[in-house]
Structure 1
Amino acid sequence: MENEGSAAAGKWRFAGNERLTLAGAVTVRGVLDTIKGNLNGNDARPVIPLGHGDPSDFPSFRTSSFAEDAVRAAVSSAKFNGYSSTIGIPAARSAVAEHLSKDLPYKLSPDDVFLTIGCTQALEAIVTVLARPGANLLLPSPGFPYYEARAGFSGLEVRHFDLIPEQDWEVDLASVEALADENTVAMVIINPGNPCGNVFKYEHLKKVVETARKLGILVISDEVYDHLTFGSNPFVPMGIFASITPIITVGSISKRWIVPGWRLGWIVTNDPDGILTKQGIVDSIKGFLNISSDPATFMQGAVPQILENTPPDFFQKIVSTLKETADICYERSKEIPCITCPSKPEGSMFVMMKLNLSLLEGINDDLDFCCKLAKEESVIVLPGFAVGRRNWLRVTFAIEPSSLDDGFLRIKAFCQRHAKKP
């Protein structure tokens, strides 16, 4: 009875991990859950989801039947029911190496490829690998907030360099050099861009890696939206510049094949000079994967067929649809005075739009805008603070064109309703 009394007095010896609580609150999913909590259940209209990065529910974004067949064949073969190697089965690693080598001036080895549970685990792995005491990581602003969340949990300091909206969201290289010090270990580049919808030019990427070499740091290149481009700039993999500075590429089949729920990604070391091996990074990646879960073995079994057999017209259809919806997004934004889109999206599935709150009444900030928009119009948009830019919006255009049109009509009506009276 005495022990019961001590526990009741609040002397339990366990408690939740505060780092996890704080990290979970700043993720895209966490913020969107807050926005969704404002939806009006009495609105008979369908909810328009312009805040997510998962278009798989929409008919225009159905994955390839060849990919589905590959998964069925892998399951039916009964060859992939057991455990995988912690770094991935050899055939799958070879297939990813061959697939990515098509865009590079050199050939990747299967030993350069480590398979992960989607790109999220790839990010988790590399951030954890770099999180030695006192180290800091340079992240783009705006950017993908999972890096901050994971770094915060791992005790890795983050510093933000600017992307410049007036220059098609190019990296402010002066800010990179100003932020870096002797404890800086790496910088992150997302190309094509999430959340900006930009596609970096070859010349600019070369300047980025030259800056990284000058600083003695590696580049983490997040290429989960690789080849989802529809503007004047083609996709350029950062691995092209690996002879200048070591590059770690992370990616997956999630976005290009429209299967984020299949959870198959990779870490790739682009390192012709063996610097990452000498510095212990490769062994640390293996160590991380040895103490974490593996991607489903049957998915690894399906990957060679998915990568080799998906016909080009599937990708052409997806890119064509994204171009159509990106055009809708950009043109409709011009009809709303309080929203400005600094540059037309050329890649990925997102665009950043700036809010002019001085033209609105009763709206405090971007979060307030998104919560009230959800309540009044059943439209979900991600507030910019979640990706590092307050009083901006990140809008997803990877949905049905008709739904996107409807969504912008509702946003326009909402802004007219809240417009400041002259």
Structure 2
Amino acid sequence: MENGSKIKWGFRGNEELTTASGITIRGILNMIMDNLDATDKRPVIPLGHGDPSVFPCFRTTYIAEDAMVDALLSAKFNSYAPTVGILPARRCIAEHLSRDLPYKLSPDDVYLTIGGAQAIEVALTVLARPGANILLPRPGYPYYEARAAFSNLQVRHFDLLPEKGWEVDLDAVEALADENTVAMVIINPGNPCGNVFTYQHLEKVAGTARKLGILVIADEVYDHLAFGVNPFVPMGVFGSIAPVLTVGSISKRWIVPGWRLGWLVTSDPNGILKETKIVECIKGCLNISSDPATFIQGAVPRILEQTKEDFFMKIINILRQTSGICYDKIKEIPCITCPHKPEGSMFAMVKLNVSLLEDINDDLDFCTKLAKEESVIVLPGVAVGLKNWLRITFAIEPSSLEDGLGRIKSFYQRHSKQQ
């Protein structure tokens, strides 16, 4: 049999896909976890990934679990669903989101997706055209960069300002935009910064988008996970100023990221997204992609309608407690500084001062050696657009969080430069 190496094969891997996947949070965390010391008998402390579902104190409500079981056992949701999602689920989500808006959403404004990730994919895919660019926050959620690269959508970054509670630098947004700019992305409550935008700031964001003639993609997968001074305000409130595509899901608020149920919602009372064929393109995109499992869609109405407020308050109270632990314990570690106490989501951004450390080159080197020496996983800031910063999640058991931050302090003491 002829040796396969002598044949000139006509296929090869798509290198652009490899490059794009390498800048995702999962890709970088997997690389860091490869450095864990198998001989360390202490539990690994996961301060890098926003998935608290493995911790008993963050278990989802029994109402959601029962809704899933009953939907599956009913045998009513075993067939293919419409590509936009089943009507009862879309109607319920529209009603659920309308409670926070000055107008009512229609089920036709709601498109069900496989988690927030697919909602991002769809939004960026329908906006991608030759030469188009999109404005993304720095720091931000790198999945946007990865998907934009995959869709040949050019990226321009505007800064979030730590000295102003991570507000959008709106002057920079205006300076970056040109006639080929199609949208700007905001993430509220903030990932990775743990900030919550005020009503007044969001109104200015909408005004800037209107001035530039672009739409706003509002990533609100952490909606209502706010525990500071500022309440959560959905960007859709300002849909009459500039059209909004909202990315949402049940993943974070209900602590079920593995259920993969999200949505893309059009908040556009003026009908601009229909006029510009965005709505038509969303439907077209969904026609050639997968959709969430039908039985999960079938459970959505009961999950949204029957979850008790005390469940949400329990989660908020835990996050308030752990964010406080995180902020206070970081003050005890001289090489990292948190410029703004987190008020929402599940994360804090902290600045790393490598000049205080021996044999640590940068944030990636810090995280790699921390994993090897202390079995603590932290996300390097370079993954979210800020070199020599770190993203730390506080959505874990309080005792585990204190343990993890204590190990980081020990790591600092071992690597600190001697005065």
Query: Fold match, TM over 0.5?
Result: yes
Whole-angstrom CA distance in 2 between matches of 1:227 and 1:359: 38
Task: Look up the match of 2:254.
Answer: 257
- The one of 316, 341, 354 equivalent to 1:344 is 341
Task: Look up the match of 1:69.
Answer: 66
- The one of 201, 226, 229 equivalent to 2:226 is 229
Whole-angstrom CA distance in 2 between matches of 1:19 and 1:55: 32
1:163 and 2:160 are equivalent in the alignment: yes
| Cα distance per residue 1:79-111 (max 9 Å; x no partner) | 000000000000000000000000001000000
Task: Look up the match of 2:200.
Answer: 203
Whole-angstrom CA distance in 1 between matches of 2:7 and 2:323: 55
SS at match of 1:308: helix
- Tell me how far 1:10 sits from its aligned partner: 6.1
Whole-angstrom CA distance in 1 between matches of 2:359 and 2:7: 43
Whole-angstrom CA distance in 1 between matches of 2:318 and 2:411: 27
Whole-angstrom CA distance in 1 between matches of 2:217 and 2:114: 18
Task: Look up the match of 2:241.
Answer: 244
| Structure 1 letter corresponding to 2:122 | A
Whole-angstrom CA distance in 1 between matches of 2:5 and 2:302: 59
Within-5 A mapping of 1:23-422: 23-422=20-419
- Tell me how far 1:12 sits from its aligned partner: 1.2
| Cα distance per residue 1:260-292 (max 9 Å; x no partner) | 000100000001010000001001000110000
| Cα distance per residue 1:285-306 (max 9 Å; x no partner) | 0011000011000000000000
Whole-angstrom CA distance in 2 between matches of 1:359 and 1:117: 44
Whole-angstrom CA distance in 1 between matches of 2:38 and 2:373: 11
Task: Look up the match of 1:14.
Answer: 11
- Tell me how far 1:11 sits from its aligned partner: 2.1
| Cα distance per residue 1:303-325 (max 9 Å; x no partner) | 00000000000000000000000
| Cα distance per residue 1:221-240 (max 9 Å; x no partner) | 00000000000000000000
| Structure 1 letter corresponding to 2:369 | K
CA pair 360-284 structure 1, distance change in 2 beyond 3 A: same
Aligned residues: 419
SS at match of 1:126: helix
SS at match of 2:266: strand
| Structure 2 letter corresponding to 1:292 | S
| Structure 2 letter corresponding to 1:107 | K
| Cα distance per residue 1:190-212 (max 9 Å; x no partner) | 00000000000000010011000
SS at match of 1:364: coil
| Structure 1 letter corresponding to 2:92 | A
Whole-angstrom CA distance in 2 between matches of 1:182 and 1:242: 21
Aligned CA-pair RMSD: 0.8
Whole-angstrom CA distance in 2 between matches of 1:165 and 1:60: 31
| Structure 2 letter corresponding to 1:101 | S
CA pair 390-101 structure 1, distance change in 2 beyond 3 A: same
Whole-angstrom CA distance in 1 between matches of 2:160 and 2:182: 20
Whole-angstrom CA distance in 2 between matches of 1:345 and 1:44: 32
SS at match of 1:56: helix
- Tell me how far 1:330 sits from its aligned partner: 0.2
SS at match of 1:14: coil
Gaps of 5+ in 2: none
Gaps of 5+ in 1: none
Whole-angstrom CA distance in 1 between matches of 2:343 and 2:7: 56
| Cα distance per residue 1:47-90 (max 9 Å; x no partner) | 00000011000011000000001111101111000000000000
Whole-angstrom CA distance in 1 between matches of 2:10 and 2:310: 59
| Structure 1 letter corresponding to 2:329 | R
| Structure 2 letter corresponding to 1:251 | G
Would you identify which runs of 4 or more consecutive aligned residues in structure 1 move more than 3 Å?
Answer: none
- Tell me how far 1:161 sits from its aligned partner: 0.2
- Tell me how far 1:18 sits from its aligned partner: 1.1
Whole-angstrom CA distance in 1 between matches of 2:369 and 2:228: 33
- Tell me how far 1:8 sits from its aligned partner: 2.3
SS at match of 2:54: coil
Whole-angstrom CA distance in 1 between matches of 2:319 and 2:379: 19
Percent identity of equivalent pairs: 72
| Structure 1 letter corresponding to 2:60 | T
